[in-house]
Structure 1
Amino acid sequence: MRDPYDTEALRASTLSAWTDSPTRLREDAATEADLVRGGYRDRLLTELAQNAADAAARAGVAGRMRVWVSGRDLHVANTGAPLDLGGVHALTALRVSAKTSGVGRFGVGFTAVRSVSEEIEFRSTAGGVHFSGARTRSVLTDAGLDVPDAGVPVLRLVWPAEEPPAVGFSSEIILRDVEVPGLLDAMRAEAIDLLLELESLVSIEIGEDRFERTIEGEGLETVKVGDLEWWQFRTAHARWLVPVSDGVPTVVTSDVLRAPTRSDEELSLPVLVVADVQMQPDRRRVLPGAHLERVAGGYGEMIASFPARFRTRLVPVPGFPRSEVDGILREQVLRESVSARWLPSVTGENLIPSRAMVLPGLTDELGELLADVFPDLVRAALSGPRHTGALAAVDVHRIGLAGLAEMLTGIDREPRWWGRLYDALTPLVTDGVAAEELAALPVPLSDGRTITGPRTAVLGAGVSGVGSVQWARLVHPDAVSPLLSRLGAVEATATDLLSDTALEALLEDLDWDDSDAVGDTVTSVLALAASAGELPSWIGSLPLEDSDGELRAADELLLPDAPLAGLLVEDSPFGLVADSVVAHYGPAALRAVGVGWGFGTVTDDLPTGPDHDLDEEDSWWASLAEDPAVLTAVRDLDLVDEQRWPDALTQLMSDPATRAAVQARDGYTAWWLRTHARIDGERLGSYRAPSDFTFAGLLDPLDHPNADDVAAALAPGSCDSAWFTGLVLSRLADPSRSPTPAVITRAHRLVADAVTSGRVELDELDAPTKVRAVSGRLVDPPDAIVLDRPWCVAAVPADIAILSSMDTASSLASILDVRTASESIDAEVVGMGRVSSWDREPGAVLACAEMGVELPVGQVVVHRELVVRLSGAVEGEHHLAWWVAVDGTTHCAQSWERPRGR
């Protein structure tokens, strides 16, 4: 048999050593047994794959490996360099390796075959060898040596083999009489890891299953084995792999150091690492003194090669190391992660984590705004909760909303930028705590200043194009955002801003000689006034240029075409506002601050006294029974030209505000008009509304298109004052007047009511020289009689009778200085009547029912014909329907009975 490796000499040498030193035999047997039971247990495929990878690397070919079963024999074939003499020597020497490079630095790895078989054949294209437990025992017996207790050292004696390897392979190892069940399944589970670890191998076939590895790309490579995928990055002393599923890398929760194949050194790194590390002979543990620190070199570059959104997954999160090696590697990896430039910023550049800062909850919109302000800010995609632990592990500085607000202090940006910033911050303000953290947020104002904190700022509601507002912290319109309201800024309308007492103080202290200050104030106020509602009266102190180029208070000026201008007296204190001011700001804004168009008004809630600078206000206030709840009055009525009052009334009724004031009868305006306004020389209060006939014939109706609308400013429907009561008395005595009997009677009743009720004192009235009888005839007071008893009505002639009401007749008699009927007439009933009672007289019952009055109670004397003899102011016998004697007896004529047939 051909023996290219001179195995016979090798056997002789080994046997001689054993014969010379039986102890050596026992040592070799024990060593082989220890390796099988310890260092190389469960590593059969791993060790053979490492040898196959070395063979492929030496031959410079893509390594292929095939495993199959034939009966009870296990076959393992590989491509690459064939077996050579040095390899045979390494196979037979338990402590020697012929390898000068590659993953297997020790030949002892082949010992793994002994874990499954004692009969091993190594076929190679250059010649094979055979190891046999049975033949080794036979040799020991022939040499007179005892078989050691540990068993025979099968791999120390080698014989030549003639069979070539399987076609297509350079080497084939055959393990005889192997317990096959389950063995191939275990190898299949190892195959994928081996293809990742041993780059010289590109495929492994186990039975009918083929595992093949491909690598694509540069830098961050894509490694695929079947349907499985990894991203791989190479550094000087390691390869780093991360499993990928659907394009998303998956963090490794636990693994072991691979050097290059799996060791027993447990790791907790988030990636797989295949490192160039010195290992102990069995490759299960790191060799003491191995340079582990260099393994992590370039880890930061690896992180930077990954898509930005996945990079934090590669940072080891804090935890207890799984081994001493794990602790060393974690520390070095973290050091690399902290100091390398890989963390994406809002600008798109990579940051060194230890110099970066993160704002939790940062959005893309907010990040875009802050990019040019804080370039060291971590991008939004990495600022969420899932990245918090990783960023903390690499010492990224965490800033909250309070820190951001502080950092923004002093930043100079356009108001529009601030407005966008507030909108972008809104999603981060989820509760009161977050709002409190932004209490110091800078806020740009309309006057160009920037203040700290929104709580003292004012938001213009519906206010735009205003410019500066010196008296209020008005937020610039371009910076307005709903967030500022949530942070405490107060919303204010143009009306609110122009009603601010700070503006009142500003106007009081304003130096009219300071043209810049005046110009700024006027511009600010009038820009707001165009959209304002009702404003306080003090706003009228705003200085404006008049038609003569002088400054005057707004409420002392009229618009050039104001209707009021043609109604006032020639020496009116009002001037005209300059045309240029009107052209620049518009009539609406000027009218809002008090520049006159029509009549101005004064409004005061809960006024405390006559302190509103109104004409005759004291007199009106004194006429009130109690203080008004609200004062609304028209100003400057005393400046109207008396000849222009008809036009003035038209103007007053054209404005809703002044119209309402005129129509409030108890208000100042209606009172003043009744008392002081004159038309055709007569006080307005002496005219009646055309629709009011209370004093028709005595008072003239106002001839005006709005006469009925201004009724509150005309004569009342009662005698409410001494002046009006005297006017009614004088009109009753006026021979040019022709009131009807009903008006005369009503007027007398209202005059009497005024005195009886106490509204008018008797001594406030002058007795008339003539009095008006019911018939309308004017008579001298001594000739007139005030009817104070209803039974006297039929007895006193209408030409001298004065009628009001029986209850107030005595008061009317005193007012007119006229006698009453009861005082001036004596009466005697002529003849006897029938004494009866009211309830016994059917005629009385029917008559009361017809008139709708209650039936009297008591005695009545019924006369067939009632004749009463009168004396005094009225004399003669009179046929009457009824009479009440002095003693209280009622006499009546039987004529109350209704005629038959009615």
Structure 2
Amino acid sequence: MTGSADPFGTEGLRAAVLASWRDSPTRLREDAATEADLVRAGYRDRLLTELAQNAADAAAKAGVPGLVSVRLDGRTLSIANTGAPLDLSGVHALTALRASGKAEAATVGRFGVGFTAVLAASDDIEFRSTTGSLHFSRTRTREALRETGIATPDGGAASTFLAPALRLVWPVEAPPASGFDTEVVLRLHADVDADALLAVMRDEAANLLLELPALQSIRIADAEFTSAVRELGDGLQELRVTGPDEHRTWWQFRTPRARWLLPVRNGKPHAAPHDVLRAPTRSDEELSLPALLIADIPMQPDRRRLLPGTRVTELASGYADFARALPPGDRLVLVPAPGFARSEADGLLREALVRELQTHSWLPVVVADAAGRRTESDPADAETAGLADGLGHGIDSDGGAVPTAVPTRASVFPYLTPELAHLLDDVVGPLVIPGLSGRAHTEALAVLDVHRLGLARLAELSGGVDRPPAWWRDWYVALEPFVVDPLTAEELGALAVPLADGRLVTGPRTVVLDDMLEVPIPLHWARLVHPEAAHPLLSRLGARSATAEELLADPALHADLTDHPDDPDLIDAVLRLAAYADPDALPSWLGMIELPDTTGELLPADELLLPEAPLYALLAEDAPLGIVAKEVVDEYGAQALRAVGVGWDFGVVAESDPTGPDHHLDDEEAWWEGLPEEPSEFAAVRDLDLVDDIAWPDALHQLLAEPQTRRLLADPDGYTAWWLRRHARLDGVTLGHYRHPRDTEFTGLLPEFAVPGLSDTNLEVLRSVLANPEQITTDLADALLAALADPANNPEPEVVSRAHRHLAAAASRLDLTELELPERVRALSGAAVPAIGAMVLDLPWFGLVLPSDRLVLGDQETASGLATLLDLPLVSESVTAEVLGAGRRTSWSAEPLGVVLRQLFSLAPQEGELVLHEEDLRVRLSGAVAGTVSVPWWRSGTETHIRIPVAVDGTPPATS
């Protein structure tokens, strides 16, 4: 302290104040009322706040760390601080209710009216400083009024008047506490709860360190609160406030007009709870902003309310810079949440902050330059870029440049994934980064007026994208997690799909997938997805799956080939696709594509053979088949060529639901006309008519060797077996006129089929093309009749009988007008006799009396049919028989001989009478044969005549 007893001239100050009161009693009243109002209202609870402001100004002025210490000694409270000591202007400010000792605009009101806050706790105050100390006392002020005879406003004694306590000041010889430059000592009112006052100060300490950056430490009794600031870069600072029971961290950013603070927990910023405007200390202007606002702004004298007309919206300037300084994933925390304003100032500030955020580039986005590369520009270019196209850059936590955009020019896709973001960056322009696209950020982005994208919009935009097929597969992979129900699938109905032929089409429902393809094949008749772009998502969105076989069976392809069978692009696509197809499942009309043969002539594929085809050796010399050019084989491979009909071995024609004999097969119309009904499936071996007759043994081996032709040989009703029976010849005999080696029905009539090297299994397959006794056709009937009539043949009588029986059984199915009846027939005697005079034996007992060379025998059941077939009379119609003699009439059951005969010849129970003749049994014949003959037995109607004794000659009597 200075050695002067009154270094600040307080005696003159007192004299001047007393003189003004003496001259103007109103002035005394005004000073008293003003001081009382400030204590009761404006500064009623701001004791530590106002003294801390003074301490902050002193520290800032001295350029030293601001330290504040609050101590309680009994009923004496002291608040000490470091910094610039008291000077004369400060003394003037302390004693003037309407003046402030501000040295510059940056201070917050050093020793202004805020010092009045001490009166809420004390009327006896000492202001101690290293340059001199002062004493304020309401008691001493009353004494001075009394001593000078100044009348109080109410006319009463000075001792009862509530005189101003801070207008008169006296010097005092008392230095500040050791280590401090200034100390305010308060002798507390009797009604002040000292402990409660300290508790309130402890609650205020942390906030004061936030609001007054010049202060670094505030000690309240034994509790110390400290603050520390660390630079984070790009204007962002970390402010840590530590107390006895708390440790709070804030991110701090300074703009030209304000200071903003965001609370940080576990390294992540969070929106601040509802607060008040801090100007710089707490006011009564309520705010609902996401960050604390600390600003030097005009306030009313009590610093609780804004001065009318204050332009608070200017405080929003630079707020977007604060957002850009934050890590990209944390920036939306600064967006004010929708809600009602808590005050007029709050409403103005919220609107200004939203407008500031909406119109500046700070929102982290995914973007790409014109070449499709991610934009990575220098942060220094951010402002220029933002002005030019709405894009700028921020700095991420690793110091790298982060593309930013003006929010109103950006788009957001909800729940954007990194994979989708990478693909969308240059499709939709500035796109909000994945980390800010979740549900938690929806509200903030809506406040910023960021355009919201849906799946339908992405699908629409995809139609204008030019990318390689692999990009599209990645695109579908990235979209798949978003397709969770039919509704989202419907939104992607306009999704673009790249085709194998290079086109880009709209709508998965219009395309076809074939998962077997490994390389793209341009199919102009079908919308085939490029194999490198194919993905299961397309199936979920309605794409149809089709095999190579289905694509090659497309009616659109059939129509194209019909019109342009020589189109090189079409042929190329067909052959490349055929390499992936099952040849057995392809339509025969693919054979119409035209390919060059070895001479360069274009021929349909089904009129060409592959080089060294085994079929070539089987063909007749004049067969109209060429050899496909070697370069075609080298380019597409034999498998693809065989699939479309180029021959190697026997080809197959197949069709579902055929409509007629339109397959260009030899004699197909005749086969079709003979069918009982139209087939639902058609398959046949083609080119059988081109086989050389001498090559049929090898041809049969070839047909049996391939499964697809072997099964057609096994179908007796199919075209293939039908044609072979009628037209294929071995040694000049059609196959249908050969009997199977295991069949003896026609031994001696038909030649036995004999081709070397055939297995038993293959011989069984060939039953369908050889003579079948149970399926006599007109052609086979002609052959059998001719064989029976040929005297060179010597079939056994039993064979003849069976042949006649099979012919008779088939008579009802045959068109008898087509049969060529020979002049001879095979008689019971085994001789081929003239048909004239022959009769069909229908009653067996006539065989006992008629010549065997006039009888044609099948069996009794089919005799009528055989007679019709051969155009011969029946015996029963040509010869009449009469039994001579009456005989003895009895029954089969009453006559012992009848019982014996039934058991001897295993006869069923007989009907009619049994007539026994003890003498010779004679029958008189008339008609085609006349005379009387003796017979061992005879039937006449239901009567059976037997001569006794029976001549047992091995022939039982007829019983039916």
TM-score computed with the length of structure 1 as normaliser: 0.90
Q: Determine the structure 1 residue equivalent to 2:382.
A: none
> 1:460, CA displacement in angstroms?
3.4
CA distance in 1, matches of 2:160, 2:337: 51
Paired residue secondary structure (1:633): strand
Instruction: Please name the residue that 1:87 is paired with.
Output: 90
Q: Which segment drifts farther, 281-290 or 353-362?
A: 353-362
Q: Report the Cα distance in structure 2 between the residues aligned to 1:866 and 1:148, rounded to whole angstroms.
A: 188
Give CA deviations for 1:398-449 in whole Å, capped at 9, x if unaligned: 3434444444444433232233223323333444454444444443333333
Equivalent position to 2:826, from 763, 767, 771:
771
Question: What's the secondary structure of 1:362's corresponding residue?
Answer: coil
Conservation of the 8 A alpha-carbon contact between 1:784 and 1:819: no
Q: Is the contact made by 2:824 and 2:832 (CA closer than 8 Å) also made in structure 1?
A: no
Among the aligned pairs, what percent are the same residue? 51
SS of the counterpart of 2:126?
A: strand
**1:164 equivalent in alignment to 2:169:** no
Task: Please state whether the residue corresponding to 2:70 is helix, strand or coil.
Answer: strand
Residue deviations 1:730-769 (CA, integer Å, cap 9, x gap): 32344444444443332221112122x3434378352552
- Write the deviation string for residues 831-859 of structure 1: whole angstroms up to 9, x where unpaired: 74462463x56886798689887534x55
Which residue among 496, 516, 528 is the counterpart of 2:550? 496
Aligned to 1:31: 34
Q: Does 1:646 align with 2:697?
A: yes
Aligned with residue 221 of structure 1, among 218, 237, 246: 237
One-letter code of the match for 1:557? Answer: L
Q: 1:481 aligns with which of 519, 535, 538?
A: 535
1:619 aligns with 2:670: yes
CA displacement, residues 58-81 of structure 1 (integer Å, 9 cap, x when unaligned): 222111112232223333222222
Q: Does 1:109 align with 2:114?
A: yes
Tell me how far apart the structure 1 counterparts of residues 666 and 81 of structure 2 sit (CA, whole Å). Answer: 121
Tell me the distance in 1 between the aligned counterparts of 2:884 and 2:326: 134
Q: Residue in 2 aligned with 1:732?
A: 788
Report whether the alignment pairs 1:130 with 2:135.
yes
Paired AA for residue 80 in structure 2:
A
Tell me which of 18, 22, 33 is aligned to 1:19. 22
Q: In 2, are the aligned partners of 1:862 and 1:893 still within 8 Å (CA)?
A: no
The 3 A distance-change label for structure 1 pair 338 and 846 is farther
Cα distance, 1:202–1:342 mapped onto 2, change above 3 Å: same
1:716 equivalent among 772, 775, 791: 772
**C-alpha distance 399-150 of structure 1, shift in aligned 2 (>3 A):** farther
- Opposite residue 526 of structure 1, the aligned amino acid is L
What amino acid is the match of 2:115? Answer: F
Alpha-carbon deviations, 1:364-402, whole Å to 9, x = none? 122222334555233222233333333333343334344
CA distance in 1 between partners of 2:204 and 2:362 (Å): 34
Give distance in 1, aligned partners of 2:605 and 2:823.
Answer: 51
Q: 3-state DSSP class of the match of 1:154?
A: coil
State yes or no: 1:231 paired with 2:236: no
Q: Separation in 2 of the partners of 1:315 and 1:763?
A: 101
Deviations, residues 21-55 of structure 1 (Å, cap 9, x unaligned): 33322222211111111111221111111111122
State the Cα distance separating 1:827 from its structure 2 match: 5.4
Letter in 2 for 1:326: D
Aligned length: 886
C-alpha spacing 1:148/1:732, structure 2 compared with 1 (3 Å): farther
- Deviation of the 1:694 alpha carbon: 3.0
Question: 1:83, 1:171 within 8 Å by CA — same for their partners in 2?
Answer: yes
Match of 1:41 among 44, 65, 81: 44
Q: Which residue of 2 aligns with 1:389?
A: 443
User: Do 2:142 and 2:159's aligned partners in 1 also have CA atoms closer than 8 Å?
Assistant: no
In the alignment, the residues of structure 2 paired with residue 50 and residue 235 of structure 1 have an alpha-carbon distance, to the nearest angstrom, of: 21
Partner of 1:679: 730
Q: Equivalent residue for 1:119?
A: 124
Over 3 Å counting, the alpha-carbon distance change for 1:643 and 1:108 in structure 2 is same
Kept in 2, the 8 Å contact 1:50–1:198? The answer is yes
Quote the residue 2:285 is aligned against. 265
SS at match of 2:431: coil
| Aligned residues of 2:416 and 2:437 also touching (Cα < 8 A) | yes
Closer/same/farther in 2, CA of residues 887 and 90 from structure 1, 3 Å limit: closer
More deviation, 392-401/73-82:
392-401
8 Å CA contact 1:106–1:281 kept in 2: the answer is no
CA RMSD in angstroms comes to: 3.2
State the one-letter code of the partner of 1:648: A
Secondary structure of the corresponding residue to residue 316 of structure 2: coil
Corresponding residue SS for 1:730: helix
State the match for 2:408 in structure 1: 354
1:163-242 matches, cutoff 5 A = 163-177=174-188, 178-217=192-231, 218=233, 219-226=235-242, 227-242=247-262
Whole-angstrom CA distance in 2 between matches of 1:553 and 1:503? 16
Per-residue displacement from partner, 1:488-535 (whole Å, max 9, x unpaired)? 4433322222222332333233385xxxxx432322221111112332
Q: Is contact 1:40–1:112 with CA below 8 Å preserved after alignment?
A: yes
| 1:794-814 CA-partner distances (Å, limit 9, x unpaired) | 777878765433222233345
Residue 743 to residue 449, structure 1, CA distance change in 2 (3 Å): same
Q: Within 5 Å, which residues of 2 pair with 1:526-565? A: 526-533=575-582, 534-565=585-616
- Shift, 1:726, TM fit: 2.8
Change (3 A) 1:836 1:717: closer
Distance 1:693 1:241, change over 3 A: farther
User: Is the contact made by 1:29 and 1:150 (CA closer than 8 Å) also made in structure 2?
Assistant: no
Q: Assess if the C-alpha contact under 8 Å between 2:921 and 2:947 holds in 1.
A: no
Counterparts of 2:742 and 2:207 in 1: how far apart (Å)? Answer: 111
* Deviation readout 1:631-651 (Å, 9 max, x if unpaired): 222222222211111122222
Whether 1:861 aligns to 2:914 is: yes
Are 2:306 and 1:251 equivalent residues in the alignment?
no
Deviation at 1:886, TM superposition (A): 4.0
SS of the aligned residue for 1:345 comes to strand
After superposition, give the CA deviation of every residue in 1:1-31 in whole Å (9 maximum; x if it has no partner): 9444444443443334333333322222211
**1:271-308 deviation per Cα after TM superposition (whole angstroms, max 9, x unaligned):** 11111212222111122343434322221211111000
Letter in 2 for 1:172: E
Structure-2 separation of matches of 1:762 and 1:829: 43
8 A contact 1:59–1:81 mirrored in 2: yes
The corresponding residue for 1:515 is: none
SS in 2 for 1:65: strand
C-alpha change, 1:763 and 1:107, in structure 2 (3 Å) is closer
Q: Which amino acid aligns with 1:124?
A: S
Separation in 2 of the partners of 1:255 and 1:788? 126
What does residue range 461-480 of structure 1 map to in structure 2 within 5 Å? 461-480=515-534
* 1:43–1:601 CA distance, 2 compared to 1 (3 A): same
Aligned to 1:747: 803
Task: Give runs of aligned pairs for residues 398-409 of structure 1, distance below 5 A.
Answer: 398-409=452-463
The answer to whether the 8 Å contact 2:823/2:834 transfers is no
Partner of 2:332: 312
Q: Residues 322 and 369 from structure 1, CA distance in 2 versus in 1: closer, same or farther, beyond 3 angstroms?
A: same
Distance 2:562 2:614 in 1: 30
Alignment partners' CA distance in 2, 1:482 and 1:124: 83
C-alpha separation in 2, matches of 1:186 and 1:895: 150
- What is the alpha-carbon distance in structure 2 between the residues aligned to residue 186 and residue 892 of structure 1? 152
- 1:877 matched to 2:934? The reply is yes
Q: Distance in 2 between matches of 1:714 and 1:812?
A: 23
- Equivalent residue of 1:366, what SS? helix
| Structure 2 CA distance for aligned equivalents of residues 833 and 814 of structure 1 | 39
The change in CA–CA distance for 1:149 and 1:28 in structure 2 (over 3 A counts) is farther
Shift of 1:229: 0.6
CA positional deviation for 1:111:
1.1
Corresponding residue number in structure 1 for 2:681: 630
